[in-house]
Amino acid sequence: MPTIEDYKGQTPAWCPGCGDFGILTAFKQAVVEMGMEPHQFTIVSGIGQAGKFPHYLKCNTFNGLHGRTLPVATGIRLSNHVMPVIAVAGDGDCYGEGGNHFIHAVRRNINIKLFVHDNQIYGLTKGQASPTSMEGMVTKTQPFGVFSEQLNPVALAIALDCSFVARSFAGDTKHLKGMIKEAMTHKGFSLVDIFQPCVTFNKINTFEWYKKRVYQIEPEYNPEDRVEAFKRALEWGDRIPIGVIYRNHRPILEERVPVIAEKPLVRQGFDKSKLEKTLKEFY
Amino acid sequence: MDYSIKIGGEAGQGIVTIGDTLAKVFSRKGYHVFTHQDYESRVRGGHNFFQIRLSDIPVMASRDKIDILVAFDKAGIQLHEKELTGSGIVIYDSSALKETHDKPNFLDIPFANLALERGGDKIMANTVAIGAVLGMLGVDMDILFEIIGDTFKKKGEDVIKGNKDSATAGKEYAMTHCARCSFSPAPQSGPKMLINGSEAIALGAIASGCKFYSAYPMTPSTGIMNYIAGKEKEYGIIVEQAEDEIAAINMALGASFAGVRAMTGSAGGGFALMVEGLSLAAMTETPVVIALGQRPAPATGLPTRTEQGDLSFALYTSHGEFPRIVFAPGTPEQAFYLTNKAFDLAEKYQIPAIVIFDQYLADTQWTYEGLDLERIRYTDYRLRGEALQKLPEYKRYVFTESGVSPLAVPGDSKHLVVADSDEHDEDGHLIEDAETRVKMMDKRLFKKLPLIVSEIEPPVLYGSSSPETVIVGWGSNYGLMKEAVDILSKEKSIAMLHFSEVYPFPHPPLNPLPSREGRQTVPSPLAGEGQGEGGFMSTLCNAKTAICIENNATGQFARLMRAETGYEFKNRINRYDGRPFLLEELVGKIKGIIG
Ligand SMILES: Cc1ncc(C[n+]2csc(CCOP(=O)(O)OP(=O)(O)O)c2C)c(N)n1
Ligand code: SF4
Ligand SMILES: [Mg+2]
């Protein structure tokens, strides 16, 4: 059985008190409890504070470019669909720079687990507005406040009929661990949007701010009702729901690609013997 | 014998099907065939043409003059009548074109009526036209009947019979009404292979064990995706249409990281979006092959036409410094072998390799006796399965003598595979220190580069071994240049130097490689092999006249040559109207320079 110690990685370069630490703790606990070994899965990350996540763990890692986690994860997963593939991104990373990829990864319903460290700000580049920043937030680059409507990733995902949509909070590692485990075991593209306070640059959406507002969705709630899910997704203000907000059981891409019905692509080898016949088709 | 046939008409009239069918008949009959297409960026209307040349000796370029013009629209006649040879003939259907030409070199064939009367459906008018062309040439119908049988197998016997009867009707009509037809193609034996550049690149990829192809459609690269997609099941390949070219290259890199050979392709515009990913491939040392199909730009340019305008872009684009390979095949045959070599070297050295081509090469069909599968390189350089499990330790970017660190498959063993777009240490974790940075740069760049250069073949020298005139070119101008040398050799001392492995530049002995210390290192032993002492540079320097021929405005290859060797061309022939050179035109331009 793996232990938390097995997952000890590089020393994090995050600011003390950053919400990212809570995510790291919850993630380690989740994979250990699930009995996953570091070599059994791959994390793909982008660039930002969240992008550094896999370095602070132990696992197969592709730390790619800002915004490009999902296409890389898609390529990995299609090539080896028996290996769990996790994408870790920031809110800017995933919803800004990589917004197009987000839409299409959800549409494909490839069985990737996407964990978004949503601090409603650009942390690594020192505090510019992100797509999820609240309207009116003043930053160095938005001196008159943010003009654009705040992006609602949960509602967007439900609109796209995303297979699994959850929200959690880095300040509640127990809840977060649960959401991570549920996402990991769900079959289908899974988004967990995680409120992750940036203690250095986001002076609005602080630990206190979230703590005051978030509430856990009641157990009777049926996440398979899309219209109800949409209503929950639109709740924002004094009360913000966390938990599994929407879920469906659409077939996953990996099961629809005939080429990998029997074996993952990476195990198929290359059979040269058919080439003669293929060449003949040109005569 | 050397005949050219041009089929002209609107998009949607079936010009390509007619051209393809005729080319297939000729190649199966054993003729050497060359075809090229010219089409507009539209699905219906406009004016397109398909030109076929057939001969009893190898042909590799289109001529200016045509022997048979099949006109399906008025523009076909207006634009191309002047291209007819003295004995050339136009065939057309006056009822369809609503105009009649009373000149002796015009033959009015009622394509639609014959199709209706003999085949039972006007839709078979194109088959009548095919039959008519074969009738004019006196070529048997047996192969055409075979093709009709294969094409319409699913549509049933009636359709097959209707098409055969239509073809026969066209043939008989041409034979009885074409008093001027005096074509006599010599019979040939043994079918030949007929293949275009796109198919050859795709086939080269498949023959290299490519397992993953992700792309976003863009002319002239879509043919590659189409061909590979048609073989997905048979070869176990995944073709994924990405949401954009950024995703396309990142997916390919993901697949490659996961342990399979991966490729992407686009035109210049899509490649522009891939540039960040190109640099990611370099930093993470993830092998990838990119097919870059040039078309006239900037921006959307002339989407369906041809140009060699992206060479400098392919050579130099990226943030940061790293080795890459750029191959520019000149023929479908070269495209097949060089795509394979690109896969091999990309994986061997864990670098991006670009196969640059253009619309002209993509769409031109050539005939060959065959392609040699013995020449295909296939070594799985990845560390996987048991071999990986047995290793006591693994570091993705371990420092080695060659700069190449073993590339392991994640998930195959307890060893973790960590790739990073940040500068990193041997384990793949991000670093900030200057010393590791320099060591990693040296590993990726200076250690690998001489090894890569040693894999690069010198240019092809064709013609006189000590020529007074050398014509120099790269990529798709191979066939034109070679035929121009054949024509001009009758009275001149002339040779061609054709570069297909353009980067790293094949190093002539006179000009060794740069090294980290700025000293000169030993040149590649391969450079200049078989080209006498001094290799291709001395051929060039000893010539009285050297001319660089390119389908672009500014002479991008000439500039590369100057940058790499110091050699400066005094003569250049450039065409940048979106069309390929034609043979006689090129010969004329060369004569204009050398007299
Ligand atoms: C193409 C590109 N554009 C911009 C950047 C600079 N950049 C790095 S991280 C980042 C934003 C980070 O914000 P987010 O994704 O929310 O992650 P966080 O740091 O907040 O975790 C930006 C703009 C980059 N690395 N690459
Ligand atoms: S800047 Fe913000 S997000 Fe980044 S490490 Fe510091 S607190 Fe965390
Ligand atoms: Mg952020």
Nearest CA to B421 out of B518, B523, B520, B282 is that of B282
Q: Could you tell me if A113 and A83 are in contact, meaning their C-beta atoms sit under 8 angstroms apart?
A: no
Ligand 1 within 6 A of A91 CB? yes
Q: Name the residue with the closest Cα to ligand 1, atom 3.
A: A66
- Find residue B326's DSSP bridge partners: B354, B503
The pLDDT of residue B382 is 98
Residue B148 has pLDDT above 60, yes or no: yes
Interface of B with A in 469-508 (CB under 8 A): none
Burial of B338 (0-12, 13-18, 19+ CB in 10 A): buried
User: Is the link from the previous residue into B220 a cis peptide, with omega within 30 of 0?
Assistant: yes
Question: Which of A10, A43, A61 has the most B C-beta neighbours within 10 Å, making it the best mutation to test the interface with B?
Answer: A61
Distance from C-alpha of B329 to C-alpha of B476, rounded to nearest angstrom: 7
Nearest chain A Cα distance for residue B93, angstroms: 32
Side chain identity at residue A117, one-letter code? H
Please give the distance, rounded to the nearest whole angstrom, from the Cα atom of residue A244 to the centre of ligand 3.
22
β-sheet with B494-499: strand ranges across: B460-463, B494-499, B469-474, B545-550, B571-574
Of all residues in chain A, the one with the smallest CA distance to B196 is A282
- Find residue B53's DSSP bridge partners: B4, B34
Ligand 2 within 6 A of A18 CB? yes
**Residue B188 sits at the chain A interface (C-beta within 8 Å):** no
Q: In a structure prediction context, what are the per-residue pLDDT tens digits for chain A, which is 283 residues long?
A: 999 999 999 999 999 999 999 999 999 999 999 999 999 999 999 999 999 999 999 999 999 999 999 999 999 999 999 999 999 999 999 999 999 999 999 999 999 999 999 999 999 999 999 999 999 999 999 999 999 999 999 999 999 999 999 999 999 999 999 999 999 999 999 999 999 999 999 999 999 999 999 999 999 999 999 999 999 999 999 999 999 999 999 999 999 999 999 999 999 999 999 999 999 999 9
Side chain identity at residue B66, one-letter code? I
Question: What letter would DSSP give residue B69?
Answer: E
Task: Give me the mean pLDDT over the B334-347 stretch.
Answer: 98
Nearest chain B Cα distance for residue A236, angstroms: 31
Structure tokens at B566: 């110091």
Taken in order B212, B214, B219, B223, is the CA torsion positive or negative?
A: positive
- Find residue B266's DSSP bridge partners: B292
Q: What are phi and psi of B205, to 5 degrees?
A: -65, -45
> What pTM did the predictor assign?
0.96
Of all residues in chain B, the one with the smallest CA distance to A262 is B236
Asked casually if ipTM beats, i.e. exceeds, 0.90, the reply is yes
Residue B194 has pLDDT above 80, yes or no: yes
Distance from C-alpha of B23 to C-alpha of B21, rounded to nearest angstrom: 5
Percentage, residues of chain B above pLDDT 70 = 95
Task: Give me the mean pLDDT over the B209-216 stretch.
Answer: 98
Contact partners, residue B387, CB within 8 Å, separation at least 6: none
- Map out the domains of chain A with their CATH numbers: 4-280 (3.40.50.970)
Nearest chain B Cα distance for residue A239, angstroms: 36
Distance from C-alpha of B181 to C-alpha of B175, rounded to nearest angstrom: 8
Of A61, A71, A274, the CB nearest to B428: A61
CATH architecture of the domain covering B195-375 = 3-Layer(aba) Sandwich (3.40)
Band of residue B525 on the pLDDT scale cut at 50, 70, 90: very low
Relative to the alpha carbon of A56, which ligand is closest? 2
The H or E element that residue A254 is part of is helix A253-256
What is the SS3 assignment for A247?
strand
Please give the distance, rounded to the nearest whole angstrom, from the Cα atom of residue B430 to the centre of ligand 1.
16
Side chain identity at residue B465, one-letter code? S
Of A76, A104, A259, the CB nearest to B258: A76
The pLDDT of residue B514 is 55
Distance from C-alpha of B361 to C-alpha of B500, rounded to nearest angstrom: 13
Of all residues in chain B, the one with the smallest CA distance to A257 is B238
Side-chain-side CA neighbours of B310 within 13 Å: the count stands at: 30
Residue B511 has pLDDT above 80, yes or no: no
Side chain identity at residue A262, one-letter code? E
Q: Could you tell me if A241 and A200 are in contact, meaning their C-beta atoms sit under 8 angstroms apart?
A: no
B contacts of A86 (beta carbons < 8 Å): none
Compute the mean pLDDT over every residue in chain B, rounded to the nearest whole number: 94
Distance from C-alpha of B542 to C-alpha of B497, rounded to nearest angstrom: 13
> Domain extents for chain B?
2-177, 195-375, 382-453, 460-594
Contact A268 B419 (CB under 8 A): no
Structure tokens at B372: 């040699």
Structure tokens at B195: 């293949």
Mutate to test the pocket of ligand 2, among A121, A124, A198 (most ligand atoms within 8 A of CB): A198
Ligand 1 within 6 A of A122 CB? yes
Distance from C-alpha of B385 to C-alpha of B254, rounded to nearest angstrom: 19
Ligand 2 within 6 A of A123 CB? yes
State CA A221 to chain mean position distance. 23
Residue B528 has pLDDT above 60, yes or no: no
B contacts of A270 (beta carbons < 8 Å): 209, 211, 378, 380
B contacts of A257 (beta carbons < 8 Å): 238
B contacts of A109 (beta carbons < 8 Å): none
Task: Note whether B195-375 and B460-594 share their fold.
Answer: yes
Please give the distance, rounded to the nearest whole angstrom, from the Cα atom of residue B251 to the centre of ligand 3.
24
Task: Give me the mean pLDDT over the B155-160 stretch.
Answer: 94
Strands (E), B454-586: 460-463, 469-474, 494-499, 501-503, 545-550, 571-574
**Residue B426 sits at the chain A interface (C-beta within 8 Å):** no
Q: What's B2-177's CATH class?
A: alpha beta
CATH architecture of the domain covering B460-594 = 3-Layer(aba) Sandwich (3.40)
The pLDDT of residue B527 is 40
Q: Could you tell me if B551 and B580 are in contact, meaning their C-beta atoms sit under 8 angstroms apart?
A: yes
Contact A64 B421 (CB under 8 A): yes
Band of residue B170 on the pLDDT scale cut at 50, 70, 90: very high
Of all residues in chain B, the one with the smallest CA distance to A73 is B254
The pLDDT of residue B175 is 94
Distance from C-alpha of B62 to C-alpha of B51, rounded to nearest angstrom: 7
Side chain identity at residue B30, one-letter code? G
Side chain identity at residue B455, one-letter code? E
Residues B66-114: tens digit of each pLDDT = 999 999 999 999 999 999 999 999 999 999 999 999 999 999 999 999 9
Of all residues in chain A, the one with the smallest CA distance to B370 is A279
Ligand 1 within 6 A of A50 CB? yes
Nearest CA to B178 out of B73, B70, B76, B79 is that of B70
B contacts of A68 (beta carbons < 8 Å): 246-247, 250, 276-277, 280
B contacts of A100 (beta carbons < 8 Å): 243-244, 247
DSSP-based helix, strand, coil % in chain B, nearest 5: 40, 20, 40
Please give the distance, rounded to the nearest whole angstrom, from the Cα atom of residue A47 to the centre of ligand 2.
13
Q: Name the residue with the closest Cα to ligand 2, atom 1.
A: A123
Relative to the alpha carbon of A48, which ligand is closest? 1
Ligand 1 within 6 A of A20 CB? no
The pLDDT of residue B523 is 43
Contact A79 B206 (CB under 8 A): no
Distance from C-alpha of B358 to C-alpha of B551, rounded to nearest angstrom: 10
The angle formed by the CA atoms of residues A49, A50 and A51, to the nearest 5 degrees, is 90
Collect contacts of B76-85 with beta carbons under 8 A, ≥24 apart: B76/B8, B76/B9, B76/B47, B76/B49, B77/B101, B79/B8, B79/B47, B80/B6, B80/B8, B80/B49, B83/B6
Percentage, residues of chain B above pLDDT 90 = 91
Please give the distance, rounded to the nearest whole angstrom, from the Cα atom of residue A92 to the centre of ligand 3.
5
Helix axis angle for B15-28 and B142-151, nearest 10°, is 130
Q: Which of A88-92, B304-308, B346-350, B524-528 has the lowest mean pLDDT?
A: B524-528
Question: What letter would DSSP give residue B403?
Answer: S
**Residue B333 sits at the chain A interface (C-beta within 8 Å):** no
A contacts of B371 (beta carbons < 8 Å): 279
Task: Give me the mean pLDDT over the B175-179 stretch.
Answer: 92
Of A42, A100, A282, the CB nearest to B410: A42
